[in-house]
Structure 1
Amino acid sequence: MSRNRELYLPEAEQGVLGAIMLSSLNGDLALAQDIVSQMTSADFYHLDNAALFDAISDCMGRDMPVDPVTVGMVQRILPSGDTTTAYAAEITHNVPSTANWRSYAQQVKKWAVIRQIIDVGRITHEGVADNLPADEIVATAQQALADLRDLHDAGANYKRLSDVVPKVLDSMDDHVNDRSPPKLSTGLADLDKLIGYLRQKTMVVIGGRPGSGKTMLALQIMQSVTVTAGGTGLIFSLEMAEEELCVRSIASLGGIDLRRMENAKGLEAEEWNRIGVAVGKIKQAEIYINDTPGLSMKQIRSIAREVKRDHGLSIMMVDYVGLVASDSSSYSRTDAVGKISTALKNLSKELGIPILVLAQLNRNPTSRPGKKPQASDLRDSGQIEQDADAVLLVHHDPESEAGENGVTEIILDKGRQAPVGFCRVQRQGQYARFVDLVGYHMLSDEEVEMRRERPFAEQYRGKRA
């Protein structure tokens, strides 16, 4: 039996997909929607099956009929290179009826659990092989097991709130007894205090005007989680080439002047030594990068799932949301970015990791007294602010005296788990990094109200009861 056969049942995965399309073709849209609502593409091991499920979900989201032709219109080519229409037609033909869909779905779910159990063992074994501290190995394994508890059989779409209580109490008990997974730090002490560390299953938007330092901040956070804390990170760099990001990482980790690195012949021995130290750190780090321009959310999701499956994943970065390609030319840019934003939010929950989503700001702050940005200044779509669990705005005014000296404010303008406020950091542009400066500050009630002096609809955008 092949390795792939051991990790999933092809007949079950194809049976679920065929049942969805058959029910739609037979006019039973309620059944099709019921099946889709109980599955996620993460349940499917085969990448073609996961991609086809995404295409089916997309069709339903657009109120399109679900059949081999329409799913082929949404996504023409599958990860294997086969055409979606041909593969969908084959599956539909091979599934005789929808009668056994629930059995198929349960098998798919159970094999998803089996794969995660295998991953727990692999993660534990690798921790031992790498001579990691026992506490760290146990904490990582516990987190993986906690993810397993989140999985449930098809059909269990709701539960009593009281059923969640044991999970909450277990988490609190783990915290009291120092068994909780290590907190993910941004690498900046004052920023950690401001946002309360990085949380799992969250979408953190980092906004700023061009040149403000948002990419520099996000890359520094990625380095903190991967290089310093030993996590695994994935960067989608849709704007900056992988070589440039690598040079910035070397400069940041080694304290090397970027301008000096451009003229390698002039570097002194001590600078080469620091470059060697930085390169050594990067080689040891589990950080992956994709700089393919114009990636769509389907491609980003597929790559992220593959990295998580093969290496584990602690954090992800997308630079930036406005450059993610739309899956359909029929959407306006505002609608397209809104759908991309929501998809990134859903992906953070699916993967169980924080995702750093970089976003541009419009020009409104330049005409505002103090030039300080607000979450409502995020460009392209207000959906970004609504989906975000936290909105960090990087504010650097080079025309001010503080700005001339490199002082930069990181403003938390929206936080589900922390009050709004800001911290000041010192910009070391020559080293492509920030360092702590003078602490963090919560905004006063008066300052909060001043920031809310925007049109009525804007005041409530992004707020949830």
Structure 2
Amino acid sequence: MTAELTHHDAGPDDRHSLTPPHNIEAEQAFLGALLYENDIFHRVADWLRATHFYDPVHGRIYEAATKLIQQGQLADAVVLKNRFERDEGLKEIGGSVYLADLMREAPDPAAAPEYARIVYDLALRRALITIGSEITKTAMDAGVEDEAKNLIESAERSLFRLAESGAASKGFMPFAQALGDSVAMAEAAYKRGGGLSGTSTGLKTLDAKLGGLHPSDLLILAGRPSMGKTALATNIAFSVARNYKADELADGTRKTVEGGVVGFFSLEMSGEQLATRLIADYTGISGYHIRQGRIDAAQYEDIRDAVEQIQDCPLYIDDTGGISIGALAARARRLKRMHGLDLIVIDYLQLITTSNSRADSRVQEVSEITQSLKALAKELDVPVIALSQLSRQVEQREDKKPQLSDLRESGSIEQDADAVLFVYREAYYLERLEPREGTEEHLKWEDEMREIRNQAEVIIGKQRHGPIGSVKVAFDPERTKFSDLEDTGRYDNNYD
């Protein structure tokens, strides 16, 4: 490199220097190769950002070149010269001559991605140093009321963001990037034949209303006890995990193309109970019979075969009871970092605890939880389905269909949620009104039960991105399984 190209350099191995780790020559080499061969950009665009350059002038050069290349224009020293005529930082290191020197001293374009990796790695190291300093300061300055585990969770959150994005914080997003993300979502829906831009729930009728499950959305799935909300959440989680397909990327990571990796926080049921439900779902054998051991040899073999076939589904279960919202978020981040993550399911909201001992009421605590879950959905860029109980006032009305006002300890549940869904089974209430056998009323009741016993309704009480309404689905109480009515005509005459 010429003298003009070796200003204020400090290598990463200069351990005794107070200067943050950086390598100006690597930045120069990459930029020179980029200006010489613009196609290099497409090999690093997914992960290299202007903020990763230590020298702010280099960051501005990369940003300007990026805009030109994305617009299909040439980005070289001549074109950039006009864009940097008034850039004082560039003038200090040689102005337009510096740009020409970058191109003249450019290395072999084939080596450019390696130089970009050096720039990126050193940027991560600088961010890590910043986070370490902040962790030290926070730990030193923490008051008595600040528990150490909360400080650890905060530190882990910062480290996760660094590991995922290569930056200590997300910061502002250019409008052009937001537009690109929107077009990508529309393209995904178009390629799926329209109507589905998110991950499928496994229920066509529900997908038609929701457009699938969308990253960063918080969905509340509510219902009274025995309505089937856990069953529906389990069915969705299992469907997403079973349909998981991913492409291997050049950097060794995997990109989900269908289905997804699921993290299921089962705060009420054990992992074994949840697994039994899934086996019943998959085999068609009653979960009650499986638990009681009332199965024959053929059914036992079916269960063994089912386990072999579904055991590799990327469904991860955490059945810790009374988990705190901080610990839940930390474990979700860890799961995404280690195995990937495309959907979080939480059963159920009111069983999560908070670290805020100063909250005046449970309503405030639940509000803190829903706000944290929405923030987690955005941070991890995955949909979060949180189950919720409904208040008893539903039982006191003649019309038992749930409403938004029935959300228990609602607080900000309705406000924070992108969608609120209710599970309602009319048969649950009708079953408890059975008349005396042998009467005309009993015969009429049997006809009504036969009609609705295996049906349920999913009511969409709120949807930020679409219409509200309801969909009718089939429900098999023996298997605790929801499915589309059109696929289960056998349910119509199944009451005895």
Matched, 1:382 2:411: yes
Q: Distance in 2 between matches of 1:408 and 1:177?
A: 31
CA shift, 1:298, in A, is 1.0
Other-structure match for 2:392: 363
Other-structure match for 1:135: none
State which of 343, 347, 354 in structure 1 corresponds to 2:372.
343
Is the 2:242–2:310 contact (alpha carbons within 8 Å) kept by the matching residues of 1?
Answer: yes
Is the 1:233–1:286 contact (alpha carbons within 8 Å) kept by the matching residues of 2?
Answer: yes
Other-structure match for 1:74: 146
Q: Distance in 2 between matches of 1:277 and 1:8?
A: 50
State which of 449, 452, 467 in structure 2 corresponds to 1:419.
467
Matched, 1:241 2:270: yes
- 2:462 maps to amino acid: K
Aligned length: 331
- 1:190 maps to amino acid: T
The sequence identity of aligned pairs, in percent, is 32
Other-structure match for 2:338: 310
- 2:232 maps to amino acid: L
Is the 2:287–2:478 contact (alpha carbons within 8 Å) kept by the matching residues of 1?
Answer: yes
Q: Distance in 2 between matches of 1:233 and 1:315?
A: 5
CA shift, 1:341, in A, is 0.5
SS at match of 1:369: coil
- 1:261 maps to amino acid: I
Other-structure match for 1:217: 232
State which of 151, 164, 167 in structure 1 corresponds to 2:178.
164
Q: How does 1:98-113 map to 2 (within 5 A)?
A: 112=162
Gaps of 5+ in 1: 23-55, 57-65, 89-104, 117-147, 440-465
Q: Distance in 1 between matches of 2:342 and 2:134?
A: 35
Is the 1:373–1:393 contact (alpha carbons within 8 Å) kept by the matching residues of 2?
Answer: yes
SS at match of 2:149: coil
Is the 2:189–2:197 contact (alpha carbons within 8 Å) kept by the matching residues of 1?
Answer: no
Q: Distance in 2 between matches of 1:416 and 1:215?
A: 23
Q: Tell me the TM-score normalised to structure 1 length.
A: 0.63
Q: How does 1:18-33 map to 2 (within 5 A)?
A: 18-19=133-134
Q: Distance in 2 between matches of 1:298 and 1:204?
A: 19
SS at match of 2:273: helix
Matched, 1:276 2:272: no
Gaps of 5+ in 2: 1-12, 14-120, 246-259, 431-447, 488-496
Distance 1:246 1:153, change over 3 A: closer
CA shift, 1:12, in A, is 4.5
Q: Distance in 2 between matches of 1:277 and 1:15?
A: 52
Other-structure match for 1:142: none
Is the 2:197–2:211 contact (alpha carbons within 8 Å) kept by the matching residues of 1?
Answer: no
Other-structure match for 2:317: 289
CA shift, 1:192, in A, is 1.1
Is the 2:218–2:419 contact (alpha carbons within 8 Å) kept by the matching residues of 1?
Answer: yes
- 1:306 maps to amino acid: R
Is the 1:297–1:324 contact (alpha carbons within 8 Å) kept by the matching residues of 2?
Answer: yes
CA shift, 1:282, in A, is 2.8
Distance 1:325 1:193, change over 3 A: same
- 1:15 maps to amino acid: T
Q: Which moved more, 1:9-18 or 1:390-399?
A: 9-18
Write out per-residue CA displacement over residues 22-53 of structure 1, whole angstroms, 9 at most, x where no aligned residue: 6xxxxxxxxxxxxxxxxxxxxxxxxxxxxxxx
CA shift, 1:381, in A, is 2.5
CA shift, 1:370, in A, is 2.0
- 2:211 maps to amino acid: G
CA shift, 1:223, in A, is 0.5
Larger Rg: 2
Is the 1:188–1:436 contact (alpha carbons within 8 Å) kept by the matching residues of 2?
Answer: yes
SS at match of 1:367: coil
